[in-house]
């Protein structure tokens, strides 16, 4: 008899700035987390098996490697997003921000039809469960300043600079 409770697995990826932990199940990726995430994820609520790694986790690790090597700009992974309707809409809107570009919290709020929900967007982004895959690092203040990020501002800047350097090298320009 099968249980309705998904069994999760986890894997790690050594990013240039530290370890990322990927957690997923047959339903998709639930978390991509920084070691010192500002909003720790509730892993204790999940049934995590250490006996094997789900294909979704392996696929996410492969795609993260491609992203960091400059071979991938968009992720193609099944996601298992758990949050309020507003949070999920905010997180999904992140996928629409082009690689190497930024948008403001206000632009993100407007993109989901909630232009006055700027603070709520910031709160949702702070709890983005799949960092980098859904690129909350591309959200900046209205004045272009780097603000809040679960992995820290230094990592946010690194990710934005990384994407810019890949774009510049692809077009033959040097940063």
Segments of the chain with pLDDT less than 50: 1, 174-175
Would the CA dihedral through 108, 114, 116, 122 be positive or negative? negative
pTM metric for this prediction: 0.90
pLDDT of 1: 42
By the 8 A CB rule, do 30 and 45 touch?
no
By the 8 A CB rule, do 32 and 133 touch?
yes
pLDDT of 110: 97
Instruction: Verify whether residue 136 is a known catalytic residue.
Output: yes
Considering the candidates 29, 90, 121, 136, report the single residue annotated as catalytic.
Answer: 136
SS3 of residue 61 by DSSP: helix
| Span 127-158, pLDDT tens digits | 999 999 999 999 999 999 998 888 889 999 99
C-alpha distances (whole Å) from 91 to each of 7, 109, 120 are 24, 11, 12
pLDDT of 174: 47
């Amino acid at each position: 008899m099968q249980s309705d409770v998904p069994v999760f697995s986890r894997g790690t990826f050594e990013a240039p700035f530290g370890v990322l932990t990927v957690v997923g199940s047959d339903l998709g990726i639930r978390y991509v987390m920084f070691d010192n995430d500002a909003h720790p994820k509730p892993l204790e609520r999940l049934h995590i098996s250490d006996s094997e790694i789900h294909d979704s986790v392996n696929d996410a690790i492969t795609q993260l490697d491609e992203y960091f090597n400059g071979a991938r700009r968009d992720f193609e992974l099944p996601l298992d997003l758990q949050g309020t309707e507003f949070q999920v809409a905010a997180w999904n809107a992140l996928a629409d921000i082009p690689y190497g570009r930024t948008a403001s919290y206000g632009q993100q709020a407007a993109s989901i039809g909630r232009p006055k929900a700027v603070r709520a967007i910031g709160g949702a982004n702070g709890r983005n469960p799949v960092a980098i895959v859904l690129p909350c690092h591309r959200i900046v203040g209205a004045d272009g300043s780097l603000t809040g990020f679960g992995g820290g501002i230094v990592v946010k800047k690194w990710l934005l600079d990384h994407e810019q350097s890949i774009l510049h090298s692809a077009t033959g320009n040097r940063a």
